[in-house]
Amino acid sequence: MIRWDAKNIILWLVVLVLAYLTLVPLVMLIYGSLKSSPPGVSGAFTLEHYAALFKGREMATALKNSLVFSLGTSLVAFFGGLYLAWITERTNVPLKAAIYATLLVPLIVPGLLTTIGWMLLFGRRSGMLNLVAMRYFGLEQPIDIYNMAGMIWILGTDQIPLTFLLLTAAFRSMDPSLEEAAMVSGATMAQTARSITLRILLPAILSVWIINFIRAVENFEVPALVGIPGQILVFSTEVYLATRQVPTDFGLASTFAVVYLVIAAVGIYIYLKATKAAERFTTISGKGYRPTTIHLGGLRYPVALLTLLLSFAIFILPVLQIVWSSFLPYFMPPSVAALESLTLDSYRELFRFPLIQRAFWNSFLLGLSSSTLVMVFTAVIAWIVVRTHWRGKGVLDFLAFSPIAVPGLVLGIAILWVYLTLPIPIYGTLWILLVAYVIKYLPYGMRACSSSMHQIQKELEEASAACGASWGRTFVRVVLPLLLPGFVAGWIYVITHSFRELSTSILLYRNGTEVLSVVIFELWDGGQYPELCALGVTLVVILSTISLLARRIGAQFGLERAMA
Amino acid sequence: MTRMKARRMVGGWFLFLLLPAMLAAKTVEESLAELERLPAPQRQRLLVERARSEGRIGWYGNYNLDQATTLKDAFEKKYPPIQIDYWRGSGNKVVDRILNETRAGRWDVDVIFAGDVGTYILMQAGVVGRYRSPERMGYSARSVDKEGYWSGLTFGPSILAYNTKLVKEAEVPKSYEDFLHPRWRGEMAIDMEADRVVSAWLILWGEQKTVEYLKALMANKPIVRKGHTLLTQLLCGGEFKVAPELYAYQVTRMKREKGCPIDFRYPDPTPASITPVAVAKNPPHPFAAALFVDFLLSAEGQNIFAAVGRIPARRGIKAQYPDISNIEERGIKLLLMTPEEEGKWQEKSFKLVEEYIVRKRATE
């Protein structure tokens, strides 16, 4: 017999909403992959799409390429993020704020723009890096980035900030007494890092790594812009090529998505196994928990400068290239002639469209509401999954994580069909986009909340309950504040990424509900690069402001104590 | 609640759900039939009056935002209070969207710019209606569809482009054969969706010679990128020296408006596509749609196409720049490809492009 108190009602509501959000599109997807005709047209059930998928010998190559690409990308992102998180969180290097600032940039800039930035930097005759390499470093041939190494570099570096953000949250809430104990017992810094720090952070590390891996499998921009010209085809570009012919073969697209799902399910399985014993790593307790910092001594300035320089080259340079290009009439190497032809035409051209202002407003509304909804929602789910002994919690975790496996394009198709079929009149409104964004960012909110939740000991909640607080009160007054670093990190992540979200929005937007990423894509698709760069610059300015404001507000809650 | 009441409610729901389908059941031809019986001045008066009371136009197209905005603004200014809702997507997306919506019984689209192949596919799917605009008088027989399914708005010649700073006058490629010269090894670029020019080669040369040419071309290591506009920009920046299949209007615009060091030659004959406009089979605003199509095909509308850099299909309307004006009058032979022809060749050219350009098979 279920007691219908507030806790149970909320619990069941969450379960129902989550199941509706994630399962209905998934059912559509599997149904579509087995159907001989597009949605809306009657047809028979068939396995022909699966046969077509695995028939081509290209698939083996594509899977191998995807694996190499995703492994490489996740390694670059992981070690880059780990290094930066460790340096800024746990050592006493100066200039932390500057390093943070460089890291915010790629978090904000849409992947499409960063990719274009790198492509321009490595242009054969107009690329700045190649000009420098050939003139000053005696390179005979320009560096070619249209290969696997180039792809890994571009996406790997683009994902460093996400890794950094998630690892930082974990670092911040780690109990330092274990490390101190190791140091006191005579362990060296490396030994401590290896056998204490790394192990405590294992759940966070694994989940971050899996997110990176799957995001790389799913990524489209880099394999399309860099891989296809270099003849390196991965899974996502094979999907693209398979569905390039009009009209789109929805059956085949859905089949690809189902295969994605399987890959992701394997990832989640590994993740769940690894975090099963998460209790062991619980490190936020009722005790004081400000981690101590490691003193680098005389090395602190050289390390800080080197880190800053590298961060600048990796994160800022491609963006500077975009800024530079936004003032040029066409691609030109930096020169006197180029300086003379600098112009504001692209910006003028851009703001001629009333569409742009509307898109800014829509993106802002959607970003704000989807990030808040996702974070509150996943905080509750994470609590259920981590804290309760409810039997279905594994399913809940899986459901909240499953959208990560659905490529945006297919999520778009699935949602489109759900709402063209069911009599819920949100097709063509901002609501359908909101639904899509919430689904899409559930996994990220979930990871941010559950890694933090894992580290909060039950005793605090028990103390609150013992003092007579209701479940709701405990959740709002005890759990949420402790979750806050992870919560805010996740919130910033979702809002900035919602501004970048493209593959789903492109199918769901209509007149009046255009969002910025769609406008960016349309400019790219229409080849209006200078305007694209101009819009990119504007977007970066706005998103930086939002992030800084969020951090400022976060600081009110003690989030930034370590940063000052 | 009585069973009777419940049944009536269910029935009401069904009616409600069917309502849009019932409203849209009239085809554009049926809607406009009374119009076509009237003499020209009355026809025009009635058309404008009805269009105004409809008040809106759903336009799905693959045109750039700036070009579409210019057309939209001009029309809205001329015929207030009619409002155009423009939805932009690539040719494929326009096709997918229209098919998705109409399969679900949703007719939101009035006017369609889906490109030549896209229009052909939509025609095959039976979602395009027939509208014979009186403005079609000003067009040559090949640039409009006899049946009235589409009318050509602009021409898209595919030309041989080069960077004027990097290529000497004597070495400028004048034919497709010239691109096989070793001096262009790794110094030329081709679109990864070069279907159109490949269709033209298939029409001109037949399959065997086209395959041989493609193999030879790919053996010369062209740079493969997506999108003709991007290729045009990269050619400006000198990323490569020549390109065998850029669009005349884009190269001309970059050259004239941005001062890019690029130029082009017309191959003989010059493959040229037709950009068609079509009306949906069951448009929600048939009169406004017809009025908009009339406007686009009129001399006034065609001059706007010229002003945004396109090459107008209407006889006697000049393009903005001499490079792309009076092409046929200057003795340049155009291989004008209708949507039907492009549609029919597309499957074959798509396969060849996939095999030789995207996967570069048999050239490694």
Distance CA B271, CA B159 (A): 8
Q: What does the pLDDT look like over A82-125, one tens digit per residue?
A: 899 888 887 888 888 888 888 877 777 878 888 888 988 998 88
Q: Is A529 in CB contact (< 8 Å) with chain B?
A: yes
Find the CB nearest B91 among A246, A333, A355. A246
**Cα of B255 vs its chain's centroid, Å:** 22
Q: Is B164 in CB contact (< 8 Å) with chain A?
A: no
Q: How many CB pairs below 8 Å do chains A and B form together?
A: 125
Cβ atoms B229, A526 nearer than 8 A? yes
Q: How many CA atoms lie within 13 A of B218 on its CB side?
A: 25
Q: What does the pLDDT look like over A380-418, one tens digit per residue?
A: 888 888 887 777 777 888 788 778 767 676 788 788 777
- Give chain A's residues under pLDDT 50: 1, 277-279, 284-288, 558-564
Cβ atoms A63, A232 nearer than 8 A? no
> Closest Cα partner for B96 from A253, A74, A108, A69?
A253
Cβ atoms B320, B307 nearer than 8 A? yes
Cβ atoms B100, B274 nearer than 8 A? no
pLDDT at B17: 47
Question: How many residues in chain B?
Answer: 364
Cβ-Cβ contacts under 8 Å, A527 against chain B: 227-230, 232-233, 250
Distance CA A324, CA B140 (A): 46
Distance CA A231, CA A147 (A): 8
- Residue whose entry in the numeric block shows the structure tokens 């390694």: A75
Q: Is B363 in CB contact (< 8 Å) with chain A?
A: no
CA distance A118 to chain B (A): 14
Find the CB nearest A248 among B92, B104, B259. B92
- Chunk chain B into consecutive blocks of 10 residues (it has 364) and report each block's average pLDDT, rounded to whole numbers: 50 47 64 83 92 94 86 94 88 86 87 93 94 92 92 95 95 95 94 91 94 94 86 90 95 90 94 94 94 96 93 92 88 91 89 86 45
pLDDT at B295: 97
Chain B, window 8-27: residues with a beta carbon less than 8 angstroms from a chain A beta carbon: 17
β partners of residue B88: B61
Q: How many CA atoms lie within 13 A of A471 on its CB side?
A: 12
pLDDT at B201: 96
Find the CB nearest A126 among B64, B238, B354. B238
Cβ atoms A130, A143 nearer than 8 A? yes
Q: A144 CB contacts (<8 Å, ≥6 apart)?
A: A122, A150, A230
Question: How many CB atoms are closer than 10 A to CB B44?
Answer: 15
CA distance A344 to chain B (A): 13
pLDDT at A562: 35
> Closest Cα partner for A82 from A155, A154, A160, A197?
A160
Cβ-Cβ contacts under 8 Å, B192 against chain A: 228-229
Q: Is A523 in CB contact (< 8 Å) with chain B?
A: yes
- Residue whose entry in the numeric block shows the structure tokens 């706005």: A542
Distance CA B254, CA B239 (A): 15
pLDDT at A539: 82
Q: Is A32 in CB contact (< 8 Å) with chain B?
A: no
Q: Which domains does chain B have, with CATH numbers?
A: 3-154+275-312 (3.40.190.10), 156-272+322-358 (3.40.190.10)
Cβ-Cβ contacts under 8 Å, A39 against chain B: 100, 103
| Yes or no, beta carbons of B358 and A228 under 8 Å apart | yes
Would you list the DSSP string of B67-96? HHHHHHHHHHHHSTT-EEEEEE--HHHHHH
Rounded to 5°, the CA angle B112-B114-B117 comes to 135
**Distances B347 to A429, A498, B74, B202 between C-alpha atoms, Å:** 36, 37, 37, 12
CATH of A13-284+295-323+344-556, one of 1.10.3720.10, 1.20.1260.10, 3.40.50.150, 1.20.1300.10: 1.10.3720.10
pLDDT at A32: 75
**Distances B214 to A227, A520, B159, B203, B217 between C-alpha atoms, Å:** 21, 34, 17, 14, 5
pLDDT at A276: 59
